[in-house]
Structure 1
Amino acid sequence: MYQVLVPVDTNTNRAQHQAQYVARLPNAESTVAATVLYVAPPETFASADEVSFAEVDAAATAAEILERTGVEVDRRVDGGSVSRAIVDAIEDVDADEVVMGGRKRSGVTSVLLGSTVQDVLLSTERPVTVTGERVSLGDGVRRVLVPVDESETRARRQAAYVTDLPGDPSNVEATVFYVFRHQDYAGAPPHEFAEVDSAVAAAEELEAAGVEVERVAEGGEIARRILRAAEDRAVDGIVMGGRKRSGVQKVLLGSTIQDVLLSAERPVTLTG
């Protein structure tokens, strides 16, 4: 089974979108098991034992949505440091993916990542998907945008995440996307996908698994091009690669990743 951890807070709207994202994973009713986790903040409760899962509306709502679609659900309540409890749960359930809710700035449409989301992104090697407060998921074939940089290692991890999704890979369509930085001026050199080893490697790995692949190379400002490509193709998610700090095992979020996370209306997965 494809194991998904769904950490929720008290925001029912975010929890609904997290659950809906999981329910739309390929063949979720037969291939996905979800753990819905609520962590009681220490400043709110003296002990997690004081909290009933059923009394946390966001948690109960997420679990009910998942069970209605046939997903097996484990309900959990923990206490203490929220980020630490989530990271511990990732290892405990051996999660294939963590699905977290983003936050909105008041009055604008961009997602403001909360400190818990950032902490988890920086503390786990597992794929983390940030859904935001609006999730637009299509029916039928799952469409993903896979923007790659020059790192073949990261590109292969992005491709591996897509091929490891539950269900038949033939039901997934991927656009492998490379942006030649700022090369959108008159007289700019041609943008050749085949010249980018990382992009070719990702496309070949996806195709070898049975995923239909569109190969695209453009020039311009990277984050803006990624966001436009996601909207133009009405993708179900954007699959980004993480970055590493030298000498330590933590993901360092690059500026492009942060820009996409903060601006995308669609779920963004960071593979590490």
Structure 2
Amino acid sequence: MYTFVVGVDTDADRARRQAETITELPLAAESVSVVLLHAFQENSAGGTVEQVKPVREARERLQDAGFDVQAEGYGGDPATAILNVADSHDADQIVVAGRKRSPTGKALFGSTTQEVVLGTDRPVLVCDG
């Protein structure tokens, strides 16, 4: 079984693009497992990953394409969450969505995508943001 860990934020368009990218890969869906991960940086209301609309939409697209999908919520820093969940599932690949920012913006504010790419030895697929 080939396992993807997909970091999903609150942007539905990015989540849709991530799901579409996976469904377009030349893989047999029945041999692929997808873990959709949403990192809650603040969750004082006690929300669950099932309440995050982009996660639900990505899961629906992937399940409709025949993939085995599960969703997980994680508290804290998104990059750390993605790396930890990838390790716990022994993921074959991590999927993140890039954001369109200037080079200066990336240098000043950092980037979850950059932290994930630099923080793992696993392949990372960066979808168009």
SS at 2:18 equivalent? helix
SS at 2:56 equivalent? helix
SS at 2:57 equivalent? helix
1:173 to 17, 33, 52: 33
Work out the number of aligned pairs and report it. Answer: 123
Partner of 1:108: none
Alignment of 1:71-220 (within 5 A): 141-183=1-43, 188-220=44-76
| Paired-residue identity, % | 36
Aligned-pair CA distance for 1:223: 1.0
CA distance in 1, matches of 2:122, 2:27: 21
SS at 1:179 equivalent? strand
Partner of 2:85: 229
| Structure 1 runs of 4+ with >2 Å offset | 188-191
CA distance in 2, matches of 1:182, 1:221: 10
**2:99 paired with 1:243:** yes
Aligned-pair CA distance for 1:182: 4.8
Matched-pair contact (CA < 8 Å) for 1:191–1:218: no
CA distance in 2, matches of 1:182, 1:198: 17
Q: TM-score, normalising length from structure 2?
A: 0.87
Aligned partner of 1:190: which letter?
Answer: G
CA distance in 2, matches of 1:212, 1:266: 21
Aligned partner of 2:38: which letter?
Answer: Y
Give the root-mean-square deviation of aligned CA atoms: 1.8
Matched-pair contact (CA < 8 Å) for 1:150–1:198: yes
The structure with the larger Rg is: 1
Partner of 2:125: 269
Q: Which structure shows the bigger proportion of residues in helix conformation?
A: 2
Matched-pair contact (CA < 8 Å) for 1:180–1:217: yes
Q: TM-score, normalising length from structure 1?
A: 0.43
Contiguous gaps of at least 5 residues in structure 1 = 1-140, 247-251
CA distance in 2, matches of 1:242, 1:222: 13
Q: 1:240 to 1:158 in 2, by over 3 A?
A: same
Aligned-pair CA distance for 1:245: 4.1
Provide Cα deviations, 1:116-155, integer angstroms capped at 9, x if missing partner.
xxxxxxxxxxxxxxxxxxxxxxxxx110001111111110
Contiguous gaps of at least 5 residues in structure 2 = none
